[in-house]
Chains A and B, each alone.
Chain A
Amino acid sequence: MNEQLTILLVVVPLMIAPITALFKSHTISWILTAIVSLTSLILSFIILFDVIDGSHVIYELGGWRPPWGIEYKIDSLNAFIALIVSAIACLSTIFAWQSVPKEINENNYGLFYAALQLCLLGLLGIALTGDIFNLFVFLEISSLSSYALISMGRSRKALTAAFSYLILGTIGATFFLIGVGFLYAASGSLNIADIATRFSTFADMQLVMTGFIFILLGLGLKAAIFPMHSWLPNAYGHAPSVVSIFLSATATKVSIYVLIRVLFDLYPVAYWQALLLPQILLVLGCVGVIYGSFRAWQQVELKRLLAFSSVAQIGYIIIGISLLNNDGITASVMHLFNHALIKATLFMGAGIILYRTNTTKLSELRGFGGSMPWTFAAIVLAGLSLIGVPGTVGFVTKWYLLSGAIAQGKWIVVVAILAGSVLAIAYVWKIVEAMYFNSKRKMVIQNVKIGDINLAKAPFSLSLALWIGAAGCLYFGLYTELPYQSAQSIATALLSSEVAP
């Protein structure tokens, strides 16, 4: 019975999303979305506790045995990613109760929530599947729904942002498809485990290396690794608040998960170590950290600042992967979880500010933090996690990353990480300063109807979601047992899979 629960993670959104698209009322669509995200969360927990001791759950779709059929092979890494995606979906759904009626046109409620559920379906499918073409299909499902979701933003710049994300994302997915085609031509199979076991029989074909480069380029575009990150600031800056929260915390993380799968499970590590790929990834990661943090410091608008900060954090994860020791990969896997939590909290704070003042430009937020002290405290807490202050989740990641870098003797990396943290202090201080200190000009609230009472306090559901996120940042920073144990076992499993069974 437990096996059937794994496929329910994909079937439940698949069946409920078309029903949601038919309704126009906000309440019904929201309730259906809440059912879907709650079910996914519970199922991910059950699956995670099933596989955390190192066993696998194997599910054959349609009863066809692999390698002819599609199989879902779930180990701790899959379950971990599924848990992250479901948890962020639950947080976004709580947040959406009051944020969506304010930002989305009222004819589109059902379609908006249906697109959100389809995005969740795609991301969960990527997290679970063990067949590489099935992964492409789910990748495209999640990407197409995110293009539609981003275009529902309020300003017209959301449309151009969604269009440029569509072009770049489709190029990335098509490159991934070309790489998969080359790999299929070389190996004759589409099953990840099957390709990995038989890899030595076709490893010397030029096809395999070209396919590898295409897959890497495609995934790099999707994961916004520097220098292929140009779609990210516009897309996350102009999207509706719920969409920014959900996508910034999950979409790039899942693409990095696919990258980890390709680098460690599909191709043996020795293959791409000879290509100098770890060094290239290291350089790209370090430059990404410094570039992202520097551009974030320059921004004048809150959501764009947070989006550039995402580019920097993805750079940290890439550094961790390229270090190729236990500490580095543990730090990367944990940062997938930590950054999802931190970014979701920060974007939720930005959403609350947008809800109450209709603007997110830092220059117009002078002193606003004084009138919402608890929200401001949560934003500051998440900002401290971003910097890496001890006691918060960000610190755990930076600690293991630094110890991994020192163990390998790469001092440039240590300098880059510390420089990134210093720049993070700079741009978090920018946010804090904008919200805390009054200026001589009184704050102007934009586009408010007369008699609007929304400025009294932050609405309940928004604050609830924000404080769940902020509490998570603090809790998992002090009691790191659950994420650390999972990340440790995942890292050991990934590094030891070089020895083909």
Chain B
Amino acid sequence: MTRREAGYFVLVAAAFAVLACLPFAGQSYLLTLGVGIAMYTVLATSWALFSGPTHYISLATAAFYGIGAYVVAGGIGTLPYPALLALAGVAGAVAAALVGLATLRLSGVYFVIFTLGLAELIRQIVTWVQNNFTGSRGMYVLTDITEQGIYWQLLALAAAVYLIGWQVARSRLGFALRIIGNDEVVAAHVGIHSAAAKLALFVVCGVFAAMVGAIMAPRFTYIEPSIVFTPELSFQVVIMALLGGAHRLWGPLVGVIPFTILWELIAARFPGQTILLLGIAFLLIVYLIPNGVVGRIESALRATGRKTSHA
């Protein structure tokens, strides 16, 4: 660890410590917003860990999220909560590994198509199982976990995402992923096992999404397939990560904060038009800021840097 990195590390740790005090501010609105931001930060950052360097667009976030929520809902009566959290992570890893094994050996299009319908597929299967074997559609999740508890768990998870992202970026695996993203043929020729590298990161992404789902489950109280397997979630995560910039570890965060706040306002003001507005926001991002806000800032910095060096 260089001195500079140690400095960043202390800074980030301090920021997390400050954020952890948010519940003591005593404003429940602020805490709700904090939960939203923390949740999307984990989802969008873990999404970008995989999709940022490889350019493989995963639309499966909602599927893993729903799996995690269902693990908690199904086991809350029999197992202690921490064990369920771990179990949700394992379930997410298994699901991601299965999807990855089937699709990541091939070109990116197959992967995108597979993940596009994945949430819908799992929703159909869960509905079918519940209709035929358990009798009731929904499930109740009754725990004594408070909003504060959820916030702290999400914050801890966010810290874990950043730690893992940072470690991956400086490892051989991260380097391999960047090469795969630039040119997969080159990657194969220099001896990178590209399918294994992609699979590893996709599993990380699946674990985090499932754990977020598990943490959020107590907040829903009542869980039904159409609530937790909503495709809008995958969509929002992709938008936020792209808005910020998926090629930097802290990029998604830049997108998550304004978007979550904006979305709270929009959802309150125009409840009927959220999907239309989501679509339009998405198109604007793809056409106007393809590299995200961070990409914009970086190229602007480069441009001014060139000017000053000339002078």
Bound pair (A, B) = no
